[in-house]
Amino acid sequence: MNTSSGSLPPEWAPQSGVILTWPHKRSDWKDLLSEVEPVYAQLAGHIAAREKVLIHCWDAEHAKHVDRVLKAAGTYLPNVMLHMLPTNDTWIRDYGPITVLREGKPLLLDFIFNGWGDKFPAPLDNETTQRTHRDDVFGTTPLLPVNLVLEGGSIEVDGHGTLLTTSQCLLTPTRNPHLDRRQVETTLRGLLGTPRVLWLEHGHLAGDDTDSHIDTLARFCDPRTITYVACDDPGDEHYADLKLMEAELQNFRDYQGQPYRLIPLPWPAAKRDADGRRLPASYANFLIINGAVLVPTYDDPADADVLRRLQGGFPDREIIGVPCLPLIKQNGSLHCITMQLPAGVL
């Protein structure tokens, strides 16, 4: 394994585009397509207005359908790239390429995706980055396969050598059982250029399949600011664990040794499916793109508050709410269905 690959730019760095995998009838979305496709169309529209959007489609027929949907939605089509590629599911954040910069030029890292610790079959998803690269979609950008299970939603970086993650995810024995905490740290330091690793030991969301991905819990807004989910209801099942997570964040120090500026996010009312199962509605699952932040909303009284709070974390970007209730029916949200590509890839 090459352990000195480059440095992972933060999400707010200039981007060439964002990848989506469009829902299809062979995925778990098959019974929810009429609900979820408008979310994807709105999301693609916001991205295409500012940068390229690469969309994986099952086949040529599916690509024609996606094209019709985007045209009907008024999407800026010159920035849309449709790529035919069969996939198991649409959570591209966790099986798409993680792009580092080596000597200022992008390098695609292709980690192993095993369905969040072998919870779900994902052989097609695991091959997506390699097949997309083979189809010359990424131009001359080189690809490096990495013999490590890692999902993009499990890591956050500040652009100054700090990695924020959760032990519950990265140390679960169904991902890399041969590696202990120190070995995981050493490997990620070399691959992602992050000499500092901050581990959260607490924090979870009911209904989450990912073993507490960091992008559902706490996110960098800039190198000195972290926004995080905060539960203010002592009667809620999340209250105690999220209070412990909050205390951990308060004890963390930024790359200059100072306490982080912390922005707590409001707590939405519990969202449940038809069977009464609680769904993982997280406002932390936002996407930073060129000039804007796309924020999941859940038809909740707290929606307006979260947009206001995040404006304080991103004063120079437009804050845009995207209705995401359909997404959490499959246990993810806006950030989970996207993967940004730094400038120079597309």
Dihedral (C-alpha) 167, 110, 24, 37: value to the nearest 10 degrees?
Answer: 70
- Choose, from 57, 221, 324, 336, the residue flagged as catalytic: 336
Beta carbons of 164 and 220 less than 8 angstroms apart: yes
Tokens standing for residue 215: 């992008």
**CA 90 – CA 125 distance, rounded (Å):** 8
Q: Which amino acid is at 61?
A: E
Instruction: For residues 30 and 162, give the distance between their C-alpha atoms in angstroms, rounded to a whole number.
Output: 39
Determine the distance from the C-alpha atom of residue 78 to the mean position of all C-alpha atoms in its chain, rounded to a whole number. 25
Residues 6+ apart with CB under 8 A from 206: 237, 238, 278, 280
Whether 231 is a known active-site residue: answer no
Query: What residues pair up with 145 in beta bridges, in sequence order?
Result: 110
Structure tokens at 308: 């206001």
- Tell me how many degrees the CA angle 139-286-104 measures, rounded to the nearest 5: 35
Q: Which residues are catalytic?
A: 336
